[in-house]
Amino acid sequence: MGSLREPENRLRNQSLDQRKGDRPMRSIPVILAALFLVGLVTACGSNTKIADMSPGEERIVDRFPEDSPDWLDTPFEEDGDRLYFKGEAARASDPALGMRQAKANAVQALVEATKIKARSEFSEAVRGVNVSESSLGRYLDNVVAWTTENVQISGVFPEGEYREKVQVRTYDGVEYVYNCFNRISIPMENYIRAREAALARSVDEAQDEDAKALAFKAKEQLLR
């Protein structure tokens, strides 16, 4: 009798093993269906938000880092022993390209801010010197240009990056652009050395009495 039941038992065990083996296979369609439903709900929610937008309307859909930095609205800042400059590139089609442009604009901001700072300081230093308007204008143009030339761009230090991914509603659907921001700094000492080099050059190259009066007055005020 034991020999007659042995084939029956083997068949029963094989059937059980097959059913057990089928379970993972049967669960795959269920998982795929669930993922499809989740994606469908998410897409519907996104499409609803897009449908609520008018052509030309924009909204920020992603930020990196998540929190916008404090320096975002500060083009130039003088803080302690460093000078800070911000550059930005709006509506870039590619984030990497946008960040490169923002960095280049930050360096340009450094140049422009240096010009403004130098002109302000030299103008204050030579206030009251009795010279012609043309002599004063020529002197200021020269020392500002020399100061800017002497600032060491190689000493620029990266301070931070920030970007926003912006969804733009178009008549045909949506497109994405990026607002990119970059902050750099230089040591205050870098700027001071550049200004001192300009002072020395203005003294060395002074030819007429007006130029000499301005150069020595500025040197007296700014090297104290």
**DSSP assignments along 169-197, one per residue:** E-SSSEEEEEEEEEEEEEEHHHHHHHHHH
108: pLDDT strictly greater than 50: yes
> 55 is written with which tokens?
């052509």
Residue 73 DSSP one-character state: G
User: How far, in Å, are 113, 146, 210 from residue 142 at the CA level?
Assistant: 16, 6, 14
The answer to whether the CB of 87 falls within 8 A of the CB of 104 is: yes
Question: What is the residue type of 162?
Answer: Y
pLDDT band at 45 (very low <50, low <70, confident <90, very high): very low
The number of beta carbons lying within 10 Å of the beta carbon of residue 11 is 10
pTM of the model: 0.73
The 10s digit of each residue's pLDDT in 111-158 is 999 999 999 999 999 999 999 999 999 999 999 999 999 997 778 999
* pLDDT of 14: 52
Q: How far is residue 135's CA from residue 158's CA, in Å, rounded to a whole number?
A: 39
Percentage, residues of the chain above pLDDT 70: 77
Q: How far is residue 180's CA from residue 99's CA, in Å, rounded to a whole number?
A: 6
pLDDT band at 26 (very low <50, low <70, confident <90, very high): low
The answer to whether the CB of 150 falls within 8 A of the CB of 189 is: no
The answer to whether the CB of 106 falls within 8 A of the CB of 184 is: yes
The 10s digit of each residue's pLDDT in 67-81 is 999 999 999 999 989
> 197 is written with which tokens?
């080099």
Instruction: State how beta strands 157-169 and 174-187 pair.
Output: antiparallel
